[in-house]
Amino acid sequence: MEAKEYIEKVKEIVKNKELKYHILTMGCQLNENDSEKISGMLTQMGYIQTDTVEEADLLLYNTCCVRENAEEKLFGKIGEVKKQKEQKGTIIAIGGCMMQEKHIVEKIKQSYPYVDIVFGTHTLHKLPEDIYKILNERKRIEDILHIDGEVIEGLPIKRNDNIRASVTIMNGCNNFCSYCIVPYVRGRERSRNPKNILEEIQELAKKGYKEITLLGQNVNSYMRSERENGKIAELEYKGINSFATLLRAVNEIDGIENIKFISPHPKDFTDDVIEAIRDCKKVCKLIHLPLQSGSTQVLKFMNRKYTKEQYLELVNKIKSTIPEVVFSTDIIVGFPGETEEDFEDTLDVVRKVKFEQMFMFIYSRRVGTPGDRMENQIPEEVKHTRFNKLKQLAEEQIAKRNQEYIGTIQKVLVEGTSKNNENMLTGRTYSNKVVVFEADKSLIGKIVPIEILSEHMWYLKGKIK
């Protein structure tokens, strides 16, 4: 039986009961996007969304396992809702990446036996069936596939925003960076059919969405595995057979004004992708290019397959092809074997590239990854000292860069009213800077010119031009 049929069956059971659900999403935008699909299915089943845990009849945790803390956080949360479960029989479902790790599922089984449903990253579409069974039989369900699930199309989706939307274009990762758990929990790369992607985006454009973010663990290797294993002909659609051709096709969709994508891998940043970004007016000229480390030696330990010099050459090549480009990045400090000299190399790249935005992480050991088995782990204090040094450099650079915005006129996609002040609107520049300004609410969803007047570290203030 298909998801749709189970959705109908659950709908029958929960009818007129006004049951509520609450989702807590951890981690990246791919998880956010999965949660929107979960929300879509639950809404069709007749459940109503609530922001409060206490009100919920169905509590759902969509987990992440990329870095630590998430585990303690999750166990803390499940511990807290035990009483609620006993008092009102709230259904507790836990899904996402962490559930693909055997030791975590074991721990839940032993220490939190009142959890009803445990589901993985390949079994999202089976959630309606799992919920139906819980409502009917009240027996604990574990629905996890340890092999690669196929890409399931056509799940309903309830989006969190009505201007910006993300669209998953591929699942999984083949790169096995040695710090990273993702390839073990999300499986091998599988690209979605270009036809389905375009139809989804056309539909979004019709509904008034202006900005699309294409998502994948390694977006710029879209359709690569299919090309390598000879399946490209089955998937190719109207000449779309790569990430570059997909970008060009999305750029043609009327109504969509901004196109973003995360995350690409520097090693797969081919010339056709650079040229597509240059040629496509709607593709954002802020490129997220995860560096991870600036040291060639550490990059080798990390299995990143590029050197410091190759990364810098790539940045220069992109800059010379697209003069207005700016970059954001991810950096890990304290990977096993990282010396002071290696860390200096990271600072050196940061100084050279002058990133617009930096996401900085302290290396966190992940069970099952090669990094965890390496002997030369870095002491916590050293990791923290390096992290603080990097953070300080990042903040200095961002403050300096912000200064350069003052007096310029920026095209800003207006997102809504400011959280702190109802009378102000907020939006973002193409370089993802938050801009706050006074204007009429009718501008929400439009792209407007804003003169930047002042900078405040995490946002800019401006006025309508």
For ligand 5AD, the binding residue among 260, 366, 383, 386 (CB under 6 A) is: 366
Of 181, 99, 185, the residue nearest 142 (C-alpha): 99
Please, which residue, 258 or 263, has the CB nearer to ligand SF4? 263
Element (DSSP H or E) covering residue 298: helix 296-301
Does position 387 bind ligand 5AD by CB under 6 A? Answer: no
CB of 271 to ligand 5AD, least distance (A): 23
CB of 13 to ligand SF4, least distance (A): 39
For ligand 5AD, the binding residue among 62, 191, 292, 402 (CB under 6 A) is: 292
Does position 32 bind ligand 5AD by CB under 6 A? Answer: no
CB of 265 to ligand SF4, least distance (A): 5
Does position 364 bind ligand 5AD by CB under 6 A? Answer: yes
Of 442, 57, 460, 371, the residue nearest 450 (C-alpha): 460
Please, which residue, 290 or 427, has the CB nearer to ligand 5AD? 290
Does position 3 bind ligand 5AD by CB under 6 A? Answer: no
Please, which residue, 303 or 377, has the CB nearer to ligand SF4? 303
List the single partner that 265 binds among ligand 5AD, ligand SF4, none, CB under 5 to 8 Å by kind: ligand SF4
Q: Cβ(254)–Cβ(213) under 8 Å? A: no
CB of 189 to ligand 5AD, least distance (A): 16
List the single partner that 175 binds among ligand SF4, ligand 5AD, none, CB under 5 to 8 Å by kind: ligand SF4
Range 55-88 burial, b when 16+ CB lie within 10 A, else e = ebbbbbbbbbbbbeebbeebeebbeebeebbeee
Please, which residue, 121 or 175, has the CB nearer to ligand SF4? 175
Does position 290 bind ligand 5AD by CB under 6 A? Answer: yes
Neighbours of 35 (CB within 10 A): 24
DSSP SS3 for 438: strand
Please, which residue, 156 or 371, has the CB nearer to ligand SF4? 371
Report CA-CA distances (Å) from 462 to 115, 209, 284.
49, 24, 21
Does position 186 bind ligand 5AD by CB under 6 A? Answer: no
List the single partner that 364 binds among ligand 5AD, ligand SF4, none, CB under 5 to 8 Å by kind: ligand 5AD
CB of 217 to ligand SF4, least distance (A): 4
DSSP SS3 for 313: helix
Q: Is the peptide bond before 263 cis (omega within 30 degrees of 0)?
A: yes
Single out the segment in contact with ligand 5AD by CB under 6 A; choices: 187-195, 361-369, 382-390, 457-465: 361-369
DSSP SS3 for 63: strand
Please, which residue, 175 or 191, has the CB nearer to ligand SF4? 175
Strand order in the sheet with 58-63: 48-49, 20-25, 58-63, 91-96, 117-119, 141-143
List the single partner that 176 binds among ligand 5AD, ligand SF4, none, CB under 5 to 8 Å by kind: ligand SF4
DSSP SS3 for 443: helix
Please, which residue, 178 or 258, has the CB nearer to ligand 5AD? 178
Q: State the burial class of residue 238 (Cβ atoms within 10 Å of its Cβ: 0-12, 13-18, 19+).
A: exposed
Calpha distance 373→367 (Å, rounded): 8
Which residues contact ligand SF4 (rule: CB under 6 A)? 173, 175-177, 180, 182-183, 217-218, 265
List the single partner that 217 binds among ligand SF4, ligand 5AD, none, CB under 5 to 8 Å by kind: ligand SF4
Please, which residue, 133 or 265, has the CB nearer to ligand SF4? 265
List the single partner that 361 binds among ligand 5AD, ligand SF4, none, CB under 5 to 8 Å by kind: ligand 5AD
Does position 61 bind ligand 5AD by CB under 6 A? Answer: no
Range 426-457 burial, b when 16+ CB lie within 10 A, else e = bbbbbbebbbbbebeeeebbebbebebeebee
Calpha distance 44→4 (Å, rounded): 9
CB of 339 to ligand 5AD, least distance (A): 18
Place of tokens 């710090």: 179
List the single partner that 332 binds among ligand SF4, ligand 5AD, none, CB under 5 to 8 Å by kind: ligand 5AD
Helix axes 271-279, 308-321, angle to 10 degrees: 30
> Within 310-349, which residues bind ligand 5AD (CB under 6 A)?
330, 332
Does position 63 bind ligand 5AD by CB under 6 A? Answer: no
Q: State the burial class of residue 281 (Cβ atoms within 10 Å of its Cβ: 0-12, 13-18, 19+).
A: exposed
DSSP SS3 for 330: strand
Q: Cβ(32)–Cβ(59) under 8 Å? A: no
Does position 179 bind ligand 5AD by CB under 6 A? Answer: yes
DSSP SS3 for 218: coil
Report CA-CA distances (Å) from 102 to 36, 119, 142, 183.
26, 12, 12, 15
CB of 158 to ligand 5AD, least distance (A): 25
Contacting positions for ligand 5AD (CB under 6 A): 66-67, 179-180, 290, 292, 330, 332, 361, 363-364, 366
